[in-house]
């Protein structure tokens, strides 16, 4: 996994308004897909919570939200919103993540997986932390060889290129790679949905919700 220093420091003031202008609908879609599986009072871990855009609906639905992120500036902005019960400054590349097994009913990771090539540890950690029967909702940039020019294969199912916007590498993944990881870490897919991004023709998000199976 790649380390990602506080790249977001320069984006934090405009992150929420820019997401709104761009039509960043992924948090709403993930919440909508997960809603029927949630109960007020249950706990949710938001992996790469940022300013909390992905968690705000879960908070309003009565879930107790905890978040992990390695950007102090994004966490500070999130904290100001008062929608979380706990925020931990932690790099997702540092294992294990600082929670006991099965600490949370559900988890989300929204707008985060493209920072990591090999996602084995991320899925293993989510699986370790989510209770059996819980839901994991996330999105990823799907790689399609015919349209995603400039990406280099780094391992089976994983492609990368340098991104001047973030000043580092970004990754796209094959759907089969992600489905393999879910199966290998004890998740069963509930929904697997494609969402086209309006701002970039070759950007196709795939949104997946999956249930953690009983051991």
Ligand X SMILES: C[S@@+](CC[C@H](N)C(=O)[O-])C[C@H]1O[C@@H](n2cnc3c(N)ncnc32)[C@H](O)[C@@H]1O
Q: Rule CB under 6 A: which residues touch ligand X?
A: 3-4, 8, 27, 48-50, 53-54, 69-71, 74, 91-93, 110-112, 115
CA distances (Å), origin 79, targets 53, 95, 121: 12, 24, 27
Give the shortest CB-77-to-ligand X separation in angstroms: 9
Residue placing its CB nearer to ligand X in the complex, 168 or 183: 168
Chain residue whose CB lies nearest ligand X: 50
Residue placing its CB nearer to ligand X in the complex, 139 or 188: 139
Q: How far apart are CA 195 and CA 103, in angstroms?
A: 30
Closest CA to 65 of 104, 24, 30: 104
**SS3 call for 59:** helix
Give the shortest CB-41-to-ligand X separation in angstroms: 22
Residue placing its CB nearer to ligand X in the complex, 70 or 185: 70
Residue placing its CB nearer to ligand X in the complex, 154 or 213: 154
- Count other C-beta atoms under 10 Å from residue 13's C-beta: 11
Give the shortest CB-215-to-ligand X separation in angstroms: 27
Residue placing its CB nearer to ligand X in the complex, 54 or 134: 54
Give the shortest CB-168-to-ligand X separation in angstroms: 9
Question: For residues 50 and 19, is the Cβ–Cβ distance under 8 A?
Answer: no
Strand partners, 18: none
Give me the half-sphere count of Cα atoms (radius 13 Å) on the Cβ side of residue 168.
15
Give the shortest CB-28-to-ligand X separation in angstroms: 10
Question: For residues 180 and 201, is the Cβ–Cβ distance under 8 A?
Answer: no
Give the shortest CB-76-to-ligand X separation in angstroms: 11
Residue placing its CB nearer to ligand X in the complex, 116 or 151: 116
Phi, psi (rounded to 5 degrees) for 151: -90, 140
Taking CB atoms within 8 Å and a gap of at least 24, the contacts of 175-178 are 175/142, 175/206, 177/119, 178/119, 178/140, 178/206, 178/208
């Amino acid at each position: 996994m790649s380390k990602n220093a506080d790249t977001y420091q320069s984006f934090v003031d405009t992150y929420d308004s820019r997401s709104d202008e761009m039509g960043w609908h992924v948090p709403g879609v993930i919440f909508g897909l997960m809603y029927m599986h949630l109960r007020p009072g249950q706990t949710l871990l938001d992996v790469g919570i940022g300013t909390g855009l992905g968690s705000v609906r879960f908070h309003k639905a009565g879930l107790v939200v905890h978040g992990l992120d390695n950007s102090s500036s994004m966490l500070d902005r999130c904290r100001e919103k008062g929608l979380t019960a706990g925020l931990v400054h932690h790099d997702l590349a540092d294992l294990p993540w600082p929670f006991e097994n099965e600490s949370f009913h559900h988890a989300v990771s929204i707008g985060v997986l493209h920072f990591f090539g090999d996602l084995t540890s991320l899925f293993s950690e989510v699986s370790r932390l989510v209770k059996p029967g819980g839901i994991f909702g996330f999105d990823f940039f799907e790689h399609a060889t015919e349209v995603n020019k400039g990406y280099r294969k780094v391992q089976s199912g994983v492609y990368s290129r340098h991104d001047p916007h973030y000043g580092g590498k970004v990754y796209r993944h094959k759907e089969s790679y992600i489905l393999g990881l879910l199966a290998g870490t004890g998740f069963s897919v509930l929904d697997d949905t494609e969402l086209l991004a309006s701002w970039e023709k070759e950007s196709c998000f795939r949104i997946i919700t999956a249930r953690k199976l009983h051991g």
